[in-house]
Structure 1
Amino acid sequence: MTEHFRPRGKHLIAGDWTSGGEAFLSLPVVGEATSYPSGTAAEVDRAVVAAEAAFWSYGYSSRKARAAFLNRIADEIEARGAAITEIAHAETGLPTARLEGERGRTTGQLRFFANCILAGDYLDRRDDPANPDRQPLPKPGIKLVQRPIGPVAVFGASNFPLAFSTAGGDTASALAAGCPVVVKGHPAHPGTGEIVAEAIFEAIRAEGLDPGVFSLIQSNTREAGEALVTHPLIRAVGFTGSLGGGRALFDLAQSRPDPIPFFGELGSVNPQFMLPEAMAARAAEIAKKWTGSLTMGVGQFCTNPAVVFCLDGPDADTFETTASAALKDVSDQPMLTDGIASAYRGGRDRVCKARGVKSLVSSEDGGRNTGPDLFVTSSEQWFANPELHHEVFGPLGILVRMRDADEMLRAAHGLEGQLTATLHMDAGDTPLAKRLMPVLERKAGRILANGFPTGVEVSHAMMHGGPYPASTSVSSTSVGSLAIRRFLRPVAYQDLPEALLPVEFSEG
């Protein structure tokens, strides 16, 4: 640990570092464990009530002020860069280079959203001028603008301790919208969550904001998460995690007396369609690149390209042989938590026991460490075994050898909702690609050609979501400028005097 940061082992609730709840120990890959309190409904209530109080100032602050706040958070995170990398590496085992890149993505997102709100396009301002002379009835003057919805709950993700956690995309976009945030930290990296929370708090103090704008509740139980989702003052939830946990929280959000939006990213196998002309030209090259994407970060990416569809034949043989050889050279690495490693082995064993599935590369049971697994099956067995269609979070790949293009199209129709789908194609594959495209548009939020989905660009055009179970809101994204819209709602103003209109109408 550096001399600049020692974990307090506490929550941050509206500016106060405080305890509350039974203690739990962190489970770092290296170094000593630290004790943290596991927040209860009482801590959640304090944080949410403070967030609601802060909304009356923060929700009506200027875009310039919120942009300055987001940029200040980025500055404070950068000022703690070495300490953040050190504790995040100790807690997660992720390589230093990966964490430094993720930290850059985190600060880049904050600055990106700051620029977005300064530009003002996200407000979708509309103005229908009055026409008192219209017959048979006068036309009223109506203006519309997007307004922040109120306090937002955010759940930190296990696989991105920075970019999808305490100050990650959900938090940044909610703050950009004008919504205070209460984060339920992930127990896989509580120290990383704490130091990032410290950076946010210093930015709050520097910008003179109400400290209720942000709180972090540490927790390794379900109590805090359930209390957050069901708290009557929470107006929306951002979640990245497992299908089972996310679906349970989604059901809670929908069963409230006042149901609220639950923006959950839950699961995806991100299918790869290897079209015949591309395979004939470069099957080995595609296979090598695919294995690199499959094993990146021990396969712990929501966009991990787990399933490959290709036509049976010599080119599929080349792909299979090349991928198998490449994966056998990949060494075991630690997964983010013991629980994730155990769940991976359970998913691997489920696939291994499925009828008609052959194991090509097998990982060893090594506690928290694991290597890749590769399986091959026929299209007949793929269609007969729905359990093969579910995500196994980690470096597990399934190669499905299909008899013809019609079976490939059938496989596309049978997919559940996906974050991404990829076409590997050459010019001669265009007719088949055109047959697949209408289906993939209904199945996935992002469609790629000749690339791999790991690595999600933060940009205006990015869509990181998809039909269920990829996410719980088919029309929203958790990455890119459109993410801000999740935490806004349109309000129309009819014949109101200028003095009563939101400042967004007078700001440039």
Structure 2
Amino acid sequence: MFEVSGHNYIAGARSAQGSTTLQSHDARTGEALPYHFHQATVDEVNAAAEAAATAYPIFRQLSAARRAQFLDAIATELDALDDTFIALVCQETALPAGRIQGERARTSGQMRLFATMLRRGDFYGARIDRALPDRQPLPRPDLRQYRTGLGPVAVFGASNFPLAFSTAGGDTASALAAGCPVVFKAHSGHMATADYVTDAITRAARKTGMPEGIFSLLYGSVGEALVKHPAIQAVGFTGSLRGGRTLCDMAAARPQPIPVFAEMSSINPVVLMPDALKVRGDKIAADLSASVVLGAGQFCTNPGLVLGIRSPEFSAFLERFSALMSAQPAQTMLNSGALKSYCHGLDNLHTHPGITHLAGAAQQGNQAQPQVFKANVSLLINGDELLQEEVFGPTTLIVEVADHAELLQALHGLRGQLTATLMVEDSDVATLGDILPLLEQKVGRVLFNGYPTGVEVCDAVVHGGPYPATSDSRGTSVGTLAIDRFLRPVCYQNCPDSLLPDALKNANPLSIARLVDGVSCRDAL
């Protein structure tokens, strides 16, 4: 049996005050696993939030190099988790071992990426406008700005990425990089996994001398108490539109409103341009079907909508794509709740008068059957809500348009998305002059001749988008720009040099690039 305590983790100590217990389940069989978890009480939520508030002034003032050391140590601890851990995650999520091993590498890799960014120092956004005492008609004071952490952050674990978007995932990594302690709410679908990863984070914190309270883990229905706690200054969330909106509304109703960075809902349109279908329609059909069913369709970037202009080539593509999707095997989803939600989404599509079922075996048993539907373009143009709802699972909708003008109308009808994909040949590029600017207003990432289910973790990537893809389109939950969500600017006016943070001191002890009097430089002043 795995060593899982089932206790909440508050400021490095285990706590089990509550009498209500939750149980982990085998995702494939539905059988209860021998791990019980104590739902956190209100007192435990308070203790975790207050411990984070106590740790915050100490943690945020540690050097970026010290925080980088902590993130590197977390990465090392994650990489050291053995095969028993991998087997446990597979058991809780029904995801294959290869996927979990890859996700662990991504999770430790993004910790190291944030550590590299901290050492680089550009996250400070340091700006200095030196005094101009002789300026007329009024002198200018010395003004210096940098960015610092907001404060304790509540992070909610995602169901579909038990590692990369959960306990030590991107929200946690970016918050810790910003100098913000984290209070983490475990997802009910992989509580034992969260226990293991929290142990790893705690070991790393102790080895690197981090303050107590820098990370806490809570189980159960604690979302409202956590978001409303006055010590919490921001929220990171990945999940459903309904869940994200609920958290946003709670945060906005606080006496002191706080930002919620929620990734919620996206159908990720794929636009098939005519010449691309002429040249490689069969390959697009094969690759697209593989993308739709990847991981049982349980990716936030799963291609849930495909648009193409009516033509013989589009008809041939549709026939081929439907046949390939019909041949795809059923897959086990993350948990029974995910399957129930998937079946509900399919029922809505089946009963809609403007939507036709094209391919896929009837849904039965405890596995998700891949499906293809075709919708009348008028539904998209006229804002039919069902076409905009994400069906989380291995299914997609086809929309056929009459011509380029109708394609533009259909794209105008889209709500905000994480991604949009354009399948093009060089000869199609000249027709994109009005499409690409429109997509820029609709999505966070525009792909050319790729598939959205791969999200690179790097400096340039954007994993965000206009509502309802996210609650705030100015941020990203993947890549180093994610740190921006948990930073705020502070300006010092005529401050003595000895009192300035290192990022703004005349000597530039950090040797970082700074904007000085409008010019980027690394020199001392």
TM-score (norm 1): 0.97
1:6, CA displacement in angstroms? 1.4
Q: Deviations over 1:52-95 (max 9, x none)?
A: 00112111001111000000001111111423311110000001
Matched residue, 1:250: 248
Note if 1:344 corresponds to 2:342: yes
Shift of 1:313: 2.5
Question: Does the alignment pair 1:83 with 2:104?
Answer: no
Structure 1 SS opposite 2:246: helix
Q: How does 1:29-44 map to 2 (within 5 A)?
A: 29=27, 32-33=32-33, 34-44=35-45
Tell me the alpha carbon deviations over residues 353-390 of structure 1, each in whole angstroms, 9 at most, x when there is no partner. 11132212234434541121111233234445431221
**Structure 2: how far apart are the matches of 1:313 and 1:146?**
53
The equivalences for 1:55-70 within 5 A come to: 55-70=56-71
2:484 corresponds in structure 1 to 485
The correspondence of residues 243-392 of structure 1 with structure 2, limited to 5 A, is: 243-383=241-381, 385-392=384-391
Aligned residues: 502
Q: Distance in 2 between matches of 1:485 and 1:84?
A: 32
Taking the aligned partners of 1:118 and 1:67, their CA distance within structure 2 comes to 7
- Partner amino acid, structure 1, of 2:230: P
User: For 1:397-432, what per-residue CA distance to the aligned partner results, in whole angstroms no more than 9, with x for missing partners?
Assistant: 111111111111001111000000011111121232
Distance 1:451 1:20 in 2: 50
Residue 503 of structure 1 deviates from its aligned partner by 2.8
1:466 aligns with 2:469: no
Q: Give the superposed CA RMSD.
A: 1.3
Q: Distance in 2 between matches of 1:238 and 1:380?
A: 36
In structure 1, the partner of 2:392 is 393
Local SS of the residue matching 1:150: coil
SS in structure 2 of the partner of residue 369 of structure 1: coil
The answer for the alignment partner of 2:421 in structure 1 is 422
User: Paired residue for 1:158?
Assistant: 159
Q: Is the contact between residue 275 and residue 423 of structure 1 (CA under 8 Å) also seen in structure 2?
A: yes
Aligned partners of 1:78 and 1:107 also within 8 Å: yes
Gaps of at least 5 residues in structure 2 are 512-525
Q: What whole-Å deviation, never above 9, does each CA across 1:138-189 have from its counterpart, x for those lacking one?
A: 2110110001111000000000000000000000000001000000010000
- Counterpart AA for 1:446: R
| Structure 1 residues 318-365: Cα deviation after superposition (integer angstroms, max 9, x where no partner) | 211211221122211111111111011001110111113221223443
Report if the CA contact (8 A) 2:381-2:412 is conserved.
no
Which residue is 2:519 aligned to?
none
1:255-292 deviation per Cα after TM superposition (whole angstroms, max 9, x unaligned): 11111110000000000110111111111110110111
Query: In 2, are the aligned partners of 1:355 and 1:381 still within 8 Å (CA)?
Result: no
The sequence identity of aligned pairs, in percent, is 45
Partner of 2:176: 175
Q: Secondary structure at the match of 1:211?
A: coil
- Rounded to whole Å, the distance in 2 between the matches of 1:409 and 1:462 is 26
1:6 alignment partner, SS class: coil
User: Which blocks of at least 5 consecutive residues in structure 1 are unaligned?
Assistant: none
Task: Tell me: CA distance 1:481–1:37, structure 2 relative to 1, closer, same or farther (3 Å).
Answer: same
Deviations 1:217-267 (A, max 9, x none): 011x3xx11111111110000000000011011111111111111000000
Residues 364 and 370, structure 1, Cα contact 8 Å, conserved in 2:
no
In structure 1, distance between residues paired with 2:363 and 2:110:
37
Partner residue in 2 for 1:13: 10
Give me the whole-angstrom Cα distance separating, in 1, the residues matched to 2:317 and 2:388.
Answer: 21
Equivalent residue, structure 2, for 1:112: 113
Cα distance in 2 for partners of 1:493, 1:183 equals: 33
Question: Given that residues 326 and 361 in structure 2 are in contact (C-alpha distance below 8 angstroms), is that contact kept between their aligned partners in structure 1?
Answer: no
Does residue 218 in structure 1 map to residue 219 in structure 2? Answer: yes
The secondary structure found in structure 1 opposite 2:154 is strand
Between 1:405-414 and 1:363-372, the stretch displaced more is 363-372
8 Å CA contact retained: 2:309, 2:403: yes
1:93 aligns with 2:91: no
Amino acid in the other structure paired with 2:271: F
The aligned amino acid for 2:252 is Q
Q: Which amino acid aligns with 1:439?
A: L
Give the counterpart letter for 2:229 in structure 1. H
2:510 paired with 1:507? yes
Shift of 1:504: 2.8
In the TM superposition, residue 136 of structure 1 has moved relative to its aligned partner by 2.4
Structure 2 residue matching 1:200: 3-state secondary structure: helix
Q: Is the 8 A contact 2:464 2:475 kept in 1?
A: yes
Paired letter, 1:287: A
Aligned counterparts of 1:482 and 1:280: Cα–Cα separation in 2 = 38
Contact 1:341 1:367 in 2 (8 A): no
